Amino acid sequence: MKYFLFLTLIVVSGCALLGGLAGEVFEGTGQGYRGPVTVQVRMNGADITEIVIVDSEEDRFVGTEAMEELADLVIYYNSTDVDAVSGATQSSRGFLEAVENAIIKR
């Protein structure tokens, strides 16, 4: 399971860093439980189309899974106004802060 998540992050990161989708990419950082969380947010106009976790010191099995779950919700609702993941509140807040900091750069 952990190798699958790691490989998924590498593949998704590679696509974002290589510009695989249309839209502009903005980077933001927030403060997670264990340190800074940096994300890249791809936007097509006002729509959030992709979020990639670029760097994080969060726990792979709690923090990272929570951030991946939140990324899906933020994209689906096109908003950072989503609930934190229970048991990973500070990681969730850091992730959402990073996404917000990326979005305000557009």
> What percent of the chain lies above the pLDDT cut of 90?
76
Give the burial class of 101: count Cβ atoms within 10 A of its Cβ; 0-12 exposed, 13-18 middle, 19 or more buried: middle
What pLDDT is stored for residue 53 in this prediction? 98
Beta bridge partners of 47: 44
What pLDDT is stored for residue 22 in this prediction? 85
Compute the average pLDDT of residues 4-32: 66
Residue 11 has pLDDT above 80, yes or no: no
Q: By the 8 A CB rule, do 10 and 27 touch? A: no
Q: What is the pLDDT of residues 51-94, one digit of tens each?
A: 999 999 999 999 999 999 999 999 999 999 999 999 999 999 99
